[in-house]
């Protein structure tokens, strides 16, 4: 399974096995490039293990909170923040994370596996519970490699894909293989599986803004979100199409750091080609 996902992380590979559990990981290093930050990562007492895909944008803030409570860190990255956060708050640590992530955490003292996905489901995580075993992976293809035979195709999922060009909800293209829902925790124990939602979008009461106030608040929020997403120990760039969304992100990046590395694709069909717009934004 791990070798089938090597394209997801070429910097380092790792695995850790124990009674009732086996974790493997391919690392794409973005924060703390040292070997100490490789995964799977274990707590100091070796009872809690984690594999984590993604980025925690507010990890420094959570780290400071934990340090004020007496926790010490061996790395400078975000993976250990989740690990130590679990020791402090349990799996409710997920509610404190701002980012795009999917992680699996094994607590040997409870013989419990947690599968957790970010609030909007940006990072993928698939799992299958069958024959007394739970298997999971970032990609369906890798997950299937670890099973005893290929499951039958999910005809409802196939129908949805042919209709909408996506497989909605928790389904996957295979029977019995499911997605961890966004903003959810799948808890796996000897007694079975439970899926709990840890976050829901809350709607504030209507607030009246003048046009200028609304513009200023949106501008502030966009810049703050962009700044958080630029946290990295490697060079940061942006895909620039020339459309409103990518152009706005690049403009915000340009406020924060210079120069901004952008990457664009052009097409021979003038109707589809946005390269002139991208060049105009890049030159601005």
Q: Mind listing the domains of the chain with CATH numbers?
A: 3-125+180-197 (3.60.20.10), 211-283 (no CATH)
Residue 4 has pLDDT above 90, yes or no: no
- Say how many C-beta atoms besides its own lie within 10 A of residue 138's C-beta: 22
Residue 218 has pLDDT above 90, yes or no: yes
Q: How confident is the model at residue 146 (pLDDT cuts 50, 70, 90)?
A: confident
Dist. CA 49–CA 97, nearest whole Å: 18
Instruction: Supply φ then ψ for residue 62, to 5 degrees.
Output: -65, -40
Dist. CA 66–CA 56, nearest whole Å: 15
Interval 144-153 mean pLDDT: 87
pLDDT at 5: 73
pTM of the model: 0.90
Report the SS3 class of residue 196. Answer: strand
Query: Percent of the chain scored above 70 by pLDDT?
Result: 99
- The H-assigned helical ranges of the chain are 59-68, 79-89, 140-145, 155-164, 211-229, 244-256, 275-283
pLDDT at 11: 80
Interval 96-108 mean pLDDT: 97
Nearest by Cα to 28 from 61, 48, 51, 60: 51
- Confirm if 12 and 29 have CB atoms less than 8 A apart: yes
Peptide bond into 268 cis (omega under 30): no
Q: How confident is the model at residue 149 (pLDDT cuts 50, 70, 90)?
A: confident
User: For residue 214, how far is the Cα from the chain centroid?
Assistant: 30
């Amino acid at each position: 399974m791990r070798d089938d996902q090597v394209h997801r992380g070429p910097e380092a590979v790792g695995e850790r096995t124990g009674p009732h559990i086996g974790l493997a990981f391919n690392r794409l290093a973005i924060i703390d490039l040292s070997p100490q930050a490789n995964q799977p990562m274990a707590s100091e007492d070796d009872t809690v293990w984690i594999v984590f895909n993604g980025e925690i944008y507010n990890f420094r803030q959570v780290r400071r909170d934990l340090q004020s409570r007496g926790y010490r860190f061996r790395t400078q990255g975000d993976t250990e923040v989740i690990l130590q956060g679990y020791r402090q708050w349990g799996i409710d640590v997920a509610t404190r994370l701002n980012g795009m992530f999917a992680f699996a955490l094994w607590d040997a003292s409870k013989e419990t596996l947690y599968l957790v996905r970010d609030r909007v489901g940006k990072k993928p995580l698939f799992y299958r519970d069958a024959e007394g075993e739970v298997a999971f992976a970032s990609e369906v293809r890798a997950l299937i490699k670890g099973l005893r035979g290929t499951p039958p195709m999910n005809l409802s999922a196939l129908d949805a894909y042919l209709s909408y060009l996506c497989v909605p909800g928790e389904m996957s293209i295979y029977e019995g293989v499911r997605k961890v829902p966004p903003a959810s925790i799948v808890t796996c124990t000897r007694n079975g599986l439970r899926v709990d939602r840890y976050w829901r979008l809350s709607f504030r009461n209507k607030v009246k803004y003048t046009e200028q106030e609304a513009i200023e608040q949106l501008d502030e929020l966009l810049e703050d979100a962009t700044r958080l997403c630029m946290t990295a120990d490697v060079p940061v760039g942006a895909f620039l199409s020339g459309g409103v969304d990518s152009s706005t992100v690049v403009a915000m990046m340009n406020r924060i750091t210079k120069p901004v590395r952008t990457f664009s694709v052009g097409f021979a069909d003038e109707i589809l080609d946005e390269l002139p717009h991208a060049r105009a934004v890049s030159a601005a």
